Structure 1
Amino acid sequence: MTSTNRKRRRSTARKERRIVVIGVQRERPDLRKLARAALALAQAEAERQAQAEHETGQGSDPAPTSREEDSRD
């Protein structure tokens, strides 16, 4: 199939996605769904922390090590 026959997706900004996990009894859990939910939660938490640091003006820059201080002289 050539690229002219394929439907193209526009590269627009994605809307925030909400992933809902509903308990369903199964022999084998759907690890793909569980992984997606865990990654979405971790990403949202990291974004919240970064936003909070940005708003307070506190960066997460570590203090310079003794080697870095010596090289500045």
Structure 2
Amino acid sequence: MSRTNRRNHRATADRERRVSVRGIRRDTPDFRKLGRTLLELARADAEARAQAQAQAQREPDAARDRGEEADDAA
């Protein structure tokens, strides 16, 4: 078999990498770390919602500026 028809096993191994995560059992959870993570997730969610709302408000304004009718007017 020629070299051009062989598979590159090293590249295949990189693409099919498997990750295993194991938890460390502790006596008490780190509530401070959990709280910070929860706050950061809440901030990210609020920011994403605000951006989506701002985008939704801009789209009808842009359609009106171009002279297009809104779908609700029908």
* Band the TM-score falls in, shorter-chain normalisation: 0.3 to 0.5
User: Quick one: higher RCO (CA 8 Å, sep 6+), 1 or 2?
Assistant: 1
Larger radius of gyration: 2
TM-score (norm 2): 0.46
